[in-house]
Structure 1
């Protein structure tokens, strides 16, 4: 079922909550500039195996409200904390992809991993995000021709072949976001770093990363593995930035084994 959760006055976030009777809970945080829909191929499988799967659209993206402000790691982590409190979640696994992985890292450090039993980072945009040059180009396209920017993201996201129909679906998902929130996250990925957050993570952490990732280099996953205690890195040999789709069966199997 889907519903809205208030995180601050006038701002409500959309939550997709599948199989509320599941014995174990997994909270999914999507990447930029997408929505919880990116995890469709996890939601197809994991709830039927007994997991409660909660997908959150961040502010500015998907079906959530789209305020003009609040696009910092602290505020985005605060939003997650509000949802955790409202839903009274405890002993859950937190899964973050790309920028969602960065938000998950800030949540872990800012709130001492409140309620989290295990952390999964999928091609996380951490400890750094975009270079100044990449951010400059993306900002220019976002503010002048956002569909062109989104097409470029779609074209570079995957290592494996995607059909034109899948490309269209993925493309439209990115355009559900507001232009201003899309731009604000580009600036966030350019300006904020997460190096100081990593030593504060003390929960078992699974790091999944495609070796062909053109968005966040595999070397950053290796750095995360070195700096996060009690972590394990699993390289995905046939994935770019989207192993949740490119090697979805392997992702789903790893999640069930780890969680």
Structure 2
């Protein structure tokens, strides 16, 4: 079943809702939608969990306002979905860009209604390099990508996607993945890239105490594995699980281990 949640700013956010049990809320990466979690959507309800896949504003079936693609606004949208669906004791899972949005929610709302945090190849604590942060893309590289999005968005996204997987997907998988990406709003895609370029979560991490599991591919060319080393060091209650043979798209490169690690975390009362 699907829900359209009206926010206070009259934006409709779509949430796919499948199964029963403890809710697991999935936030997708840039520039995709909740459909990227198909292989978790198929699996989690069989094990007694309620899959909730949210389309962030500008993506999938959600409304597409021109503005509001900063992490604060995205976290506020998420808060309204959680409140209006009355979700409790939920696990919040964020992939890539969904990772920093999940972290911002946790710092902004003090873990309200969330009992565990799952970070999947997260684009955090920062996506781009700084003088005191030598990891990720140069800001100028993101600027170039933004310029390309303005002139030939399908080609820019397809080229970006070539770095996504370590294990080469089938032609059909690539077409499916690209179709998700190009179906997103053009301005939402651009404005989210600006947020990825500029946002910084380092000062928020020490206050996020929820049990956190981080899954990250060691061969990730989009969000370097170093990101998660930083997170594991700075989050008070985090465990990092490396995927030796995976790039950014761990869910495709090592799917069995990926789902096994997710389910173990959901079923366990600790990080061990």
Cα deviation per residue 1:113-172 (whole Å; 9 max; x = unaligned)?
Answer: 111111000111111113312211210111000001110122110011101110000000
- List structure 1 runs of 4+ shifted beyond 4 angstroms: none
Alpha carbon RMSD of aligned pairs, Å? 0.9
Q: Which runs of 5+ in 1 are unaligned?
A: none
> Could you list the runs of 5+ residues in structure 2 that have no partner in the other structure?
129-137, 267-272
The equivalent position to 1:163 in structure 2, one of 170, 179, 204, is: 170
Give the 5 Å matches for 1:139-150: 139-150=146-157
The worse-fitting range, judged by mean Cα deviation, of 139-148 and 42-51 is 42-51
Greater Cα shift, 203-212 or 130-139: 130-139
TM-score w.r.t. the length of structure 2 is 0.93
Matched, 1:137 2:144: yes
- The aligned counterpart of 2:249 is 242
1:14-66: CA deviation from partner (whole Å, max 9, x where unpaired): 110001xx222100000010000000011111111111000000000111100
Preserved contact between residue 42 and residue 248 of structure 1 (Cα < 8 Å): no
- Deviations 1:186-227 (CA, angstroms, capped at 9, x unpaired): 111111111011111100000110001000111111000000
* Corresponding residue number in structure 1 for 2:132: none
Q: Secondary structure, in 3 states, of the residue corresponding to 1:145?
A: helix
**Deviates most, 98-107 or 236-245:** 236-245
Kindly tell me the number of residue pairs found equivalent between the two proteins: 257
CA distance in 1, matches of 2:227, 2:183: 29
Residue 177 of structure 1 aligns to a residue in which SS? coil
Which secondary structure does the structure 2 equivalent of 1:129 belong to? coil
> Do 1:77 and 1:104's aligned partners in 2 also have CA atoms closer than 8 Å?
yes
Deviation at 1:3, TM superposition (A): 2.2
Match of 1:125 in 2: 123
1:176 is aligned, of 178, 183, 190, to 183
Deviations 1:87-107 (A, max 9, x none): 001101000000000100000
Give the Å deviation of 1:8: 3.0
